[in-house]
Amino acid sequence: MSTLSAAPMPSLSHRASRWFSRNLIRIYAGLAFIYLFIPVAYTFAFSFNDAGKSNLVWQGFTLDNWKNPCGAPQVCSAVANSIQIGLLSTFIATVLGTMIAFALGRHKFRGRTSTNLLIFLPMATPEVVLGASLLAMFLNLRVNPGFWTIVISHVMFCISFVVVTVKARIASLDPRLEQAAMDLYANEKDTFRYVTLPLVMPGIAGAALLAFSLSFDDFIITNFNSGIETTFPKFVYVSAARGIPAQANVIGSAMFFIALFIVIIGQVVSRQRKKS
Amino acid sequence: MAFLHGATRTHSGPRSGIKSRSITPYLLLAPGMIWLVTFFIIPIFSLASTSTMVRPEGAQIGTYVQELRFQNYVDAFVANQEQYVRSFIYAGIATLLALAIAFPLAYTIAFKAGKYRNVLLVLVVAPFFTSFLLRTVAWTQILGDEGPILSTLKLLPFIDDSLRLTATPFAVVSGLTYNFLPFMTLPLYASLERIDPRTLEAAGDLYANGFTTFRKVTVPLAMPGVVAGTLLTFIPAAGDYVNAALLGNPSTKMIGNVIESRFFAVVDYPTAAALSFTLMATILILVTLYIRKSGTDELV
């Protein structure tokens, strides 16, 4: 910080280059973040576009899209469908996945390896194969794809992610907390209810949020198993050729801020818990 | 809490089980496992069965009967080998690019972010919250013929007016790179974060320079994250068709596009099934070889 030294010019450029090389990796990371957020910013900006017929180029600023997000045909029914499917599949996948995670994390049993494999495989299979195989089965069984086949497929691919998330939380618990509860004469059921479950709860909540966002955002598997049912991503895909309505940008931006809000609340709550 | 950590470590791993050999674990497993078997394993068999079917002479479109025609695989592959090979090339390039972008990013978050670590982590995941399709559509417009980048570039005298960014392999690969970047960053971060900074200091004390420390200490310790991240990027990228459909042109079609159009536009289920099956088999083989080679078996 000493600016008293003589000959400032060479040392300034020298210092600048030193600062640059020392912070190179931070600059690089900053650029990566800009790259990550360019399309998000674009989507947000164009939610204010006075689009009229074409939302492809900027036509002028308006708040109308935000005041009336259901203004474009089908947008809101697609979103409502996505939310219903998301909630249903999140609920089922979270319950089933949490049960599996407890079996894996707290019990000894035969067939652990094959169970792990069955959890891992859906995550290692491309979505197009998951979607195509499920559709092949539905077609062979003469089942018409629609709302329920979407829910079935979403539960299927969400379970693995729930298991992995909850299992990690269970593994990070200190088993001595449970032993302490047992030492204090809590029976197995009470230990689970008053000690284990509350401790694992943040993991379950995180898994549920993950499942919901995976379900809400899924396109490929949904596209294969939806028949004529529309979800929000499917709506965007179908209307992409003609340019998506600005209202879809409103929905996307709103989802972004709602999710960010939930995550920040979660962080604040967990930090305060740690303090107390 | 502190005294607990000082106590003798009695728990051998996470499953110092409450009970062994009881029926409880099976009851816990059953519903989820039945779901996965019914809607994941059985469909794979269904796919295999469809892949060898044949449409009878003069039958209605979409009607197929089982004839165990394995020639379907050969026909499907020969007709679509271009798209097939292209999918793996695009996915491979996108994976390498994502690794090149994500490694410094994860490194910065793990070692240089200080108290902003959690904020930056949220920022990595945050773009996810805007729908994946909306972001891809946004790229089509940003890179598009009337988009901000091209219209600025075309102001320059030496840029040809016919220059296009969308409908090119470049656009498809950068779309793939972009969309799977968080899948690369998070596992990398998870393994970098576990590195004890003192191991890096120790390397310095032993006269390793920055680069040597990075190559001999940081990278080997980050290997599980590299393996997980590359798999989580490569697998979905190889099967993706959204990026190729929105950002590409007919000559950048990937195998996912072919499978989709065989299913829906052409209603040729056996070919679509044969292609999906081949894709899955290839990926499983590649993944197994890759995990063996990198020596990290504890992925799940």
Q: Tens digit of pLDDT for each residue in A210-219?
A: 999 899 999 9
Please compute, for residue B67, the number of CA atoms within 13 A of its CA located in the half-sphere on the CB side.
12
pLDDT greater than 60 at residue A83: yes
> How far apart are alpha carbons B269 and B275 in whole angstroms?
10
Binary contact (B104, A103; C-beta < 8 A): no
> How far apart are alpha carbons A180 and A123 in whole angstroms?
37
pLDDT greater than 50 at residue A123: yes
Binary contact (A240, B246; C-beta < 8 A): yes
Binary contact (B25, A107; C-beta < 8 A): yes
Burial of B214 (0-12, 13-18, 19+ CB in 10 A): middle
B7: nearest CA partner in chain A: A176
Which residues of chain A have a CB within 8 Å of the CB of B144? 56
Domain extents for chain A?
8-66, 73-244
Structural domains in chain B plus CATH codes: 73-294 (1.10.3720.10)
The pLDDT tens digits along chain B (300 residues) read 333 333 333 344 444 444 456 888 999 999 999 999 999 999 999 999 999 998 888 777 778 888 888 999 999 999 999 999 999 999 999 999 999 999 999 999 998 888 888 888 888 888 888 888 999 999 998 998 888 888 888 888 887 777 888 889 999 999 999 999 999 999 999 889 888 888 888 888 888 887 888 888 888 888 889 999 999 999 999 999 999 999 999 889 999 999 999 988 888 899 999 999 999 999 999 988 888 887 655 544
Point out the residue among A97, A129, A236 whose CB comes nearest to the CB of B279.
Answer: A129
Q: What is the mean pLDDT of chain A?
A: 88
Binary contact (B279, A136; C-beta < 8 A): no
- Do B243 and B86 touch, CB atoms closer than 8 A? no
Binary contact (B39, A152; C-beta < 8 A): yes
Binary contact (A236, B16; C-beta < 8 A): no
> How far apart are alpha carbons A232 and A216 in whole angstroms?
8
Binary contact (B125, A263; C-beta < 8 A): yes
Q: How many angstroms away from the CA of A217 is the closest CA of chain B?
A: 6
Pairing outcome for strands B65-66 and A107-108: unpaired
Q: What is the pLDDT of residue B129?
A: 84
Those residues with Cβ within 8 angstroms of residue B193's Cβ, 6 or more apart along the chain or in another chain: B110
Q: What is the pLDDT of residue B2?
A: 34
% of chain A exceeding 90 in pLDDT? 49
- Do A72 and A247 touch, CB atoms closer than 8 A? yes
Point out the residue among A43, A137, A140 whose CB comes nearest to the CB of B134.
Answer: A43
Which residues of chain B have a CB within 8 Å of the CB of A256? 126, 129-130
Which residues of chain A have a CB within 8 Å of the CB of B284? 124
Which residues of chain A have a CB within 8 Å of the CB of B291? none
H/E segment holding residue A202: helix A197-217
Those residues with Cβ within 8 angstroms of residue A64's Cβ, 6 or more apart along the chain or in another chain: A50, A71
Binary contact (A126, B181; C-beta < 8 A): no
A43: nearest CA partner in chain B: B138
Q: How confident is the model at residue A8 (pLDDT cuts 50, 70, 90)?
A: low
Least confidently predicted of A81-85, A180-184, B71-75: A180-184
Q: What is the pLDDT of residue A155?
A: 97
Q: What is the pLDDT of residue B7?
A: 36
Q: What is the pLDDT of residue B6?
A: 33
Strand partners, A211: none
Binary contact (A115, B18; C-beta < 8 A): no
pLDDT greater than 80 at residue A230: yes
* b/e map B45-63, b = 16+ CB within 10 Å: ebbbbbbbbebeeeeeeee
Q: How many angstroms away from the CA of A60 is the closest CA of chain B?
A: 15
Global pTM reads: 0.86
A233: nearest CA partner in chain B: B133
% of chain A exceeding 70 in pLDDT? 96
pLDDT greater than 90 at residue A102: yes
The CATH label, of 1.10.3720.10, 3.40.50.980, 1.20.210.10, 3.40.50.2300, for the domain at A73-244 is 1.10.3720.10
Q: What is the pLDDT of residue A1?
A: 45
Point out the residue among B7, B28, B134 whose CB comes nearest to the CB of A99.
Answer: B28
Q: What is the pLDDT of residue B1?
A: 32
Q: How confident is the model at residue A39 (pLDDT cuts 50, 70, 90)?
A: very high
Which residues of chain A have a CB within 8 Å of the CB of B178? 35-36, 39
Binary contact (B139, A236; C-beta < 8 A): no
Which residues of chain B have a CB within 8 Å of the CB of A108? 15, 17, 19-21, 25
pLDDT greater than 90 at residue A57: no
Give the count of Cβ contacts less than 8 A between chain A and B.
282
Q: How confident is the model at residue A10 (pLDDT cuts 50, 70, 90)?
A: low
Please compute, for residue A141, the number of CA atoms within 13 A of its CA located in the half-sphere on the CB side.
17
Is the Cα torsion angle B14, B18, B20, B22 positive or negative in sign? negative
